[in-house]
Amino acid sequence: MNRFDAMTLFVRIVETGSFTKAANGLDMPRATATLTIQKLEQRLGVRLLERTTRQVRPTFEGKAFHERCVHLLAELEDAEAMLKPTARQPSGVLRVEMHGTQARKIVLPRIQDFHRRYPELSLVLTSGDRRVDLIGEGVDCALRSGVPEDSSLVARKLADMPQVICASPAYLERHGVPTHPDALHAHAVVRFFSGNQATDSTLDLLVDGHPRSFEAGGWITVNDGTNYVECARQGCGLIQLPHFSVASLLASGELVEVLAEWPKPVLPLYAVYPERRQLSPRVRVFLDWIVSFYGERFDGPAPAT
């Protein structure tokens, strides 16, 4: 087994946490996988994996080597894809990260269309509220709301998402319906935090055309989008988020919009990817596909940036 095959096996073992799963995925005997990793560790002179009866996980050196392997294998795939006549039908693994609500409500309902167009691509989709390190974790592309702050990433704008402030009928019955932004200080919000970012306990509106943040109280803090909405349903306080993510709850009356006559800043959504992925056929076809229906969903195509 050559070095690139050994690196591919090592990456699969780290990702699956199992020699058996990695070997089965690469259609090789488990004994061959074990021997290959042993030879790789001997050649490098370090232990890459810690093995127990329950799990396999990388050592400190193994984590660093895994990061480099992901980069090298991705670069090799991209180089081959650009030279092949089949570059218009890219193959390989595409790793995409996005918020679960974006996945469930917008992307996954259309995912079969993407598969029909690019059947040779395998998609690995990760979701959550933690902001992943695209380069360090080998992710090809991510969908992120808000203006991108990482200058090492290329950003392409997908849409401007209208926002809504809402609460449950039970909360509004207990605490009253705010009719002016200045009244928000007497209300509770569901606080939210993500990663190492500060906890957000403000509501944002446009006053005389200028964005203003209004501080409110609150007794519960979450770091998950699903829990954020559920807390509002349970009467824990006001929340502010893109309208599409709670449209069905607003229509059913489980949540009620407040301060509807006061405009809110739109929340921009970007696709971001490492600069080294700029010419990747896998990323290019995914972005072209996703831009088309985000433009339709949010009133017109967003200009490239």
Q: For residue range 219-274, what is the model confidence (pLDDT) as tens digits?
A: 999 999 999 999 999 999 999 999 999 999 999 999 999 999 999 999 999 999 88
CATH 3.40.190.10 fits 87-161+266-305, yes or no: yes
How many CB atoms are closer than 10 A to CB 119? Answer: 10
| CATH C-level class of 163-265 | alpha beta
pLDDT at residue number 220 = 97
Q: What is the C-alpha separation between 50 and 126, in angstroms, rounded?
A: 25
Task: Pick the most confident of 152-156, 213-217, 301-305.
Answer: 213-217
One fold for 1-83 and 87-161+266-305: no
Domain chopping of the chain, boundaries: 1-83, 87-161+266-305, 163-265
| CATH C-level class of 1-83 | mainly alpha
Q: What is the C-alpha separation between 187 and 181, in angstroms, rounded?
A: 10
Helix extents (H) in the chain? 3-16, 19-25, 30-44, 60-83, 100-102, 111-117, 169-175, 225-233, 247-252, 281-297
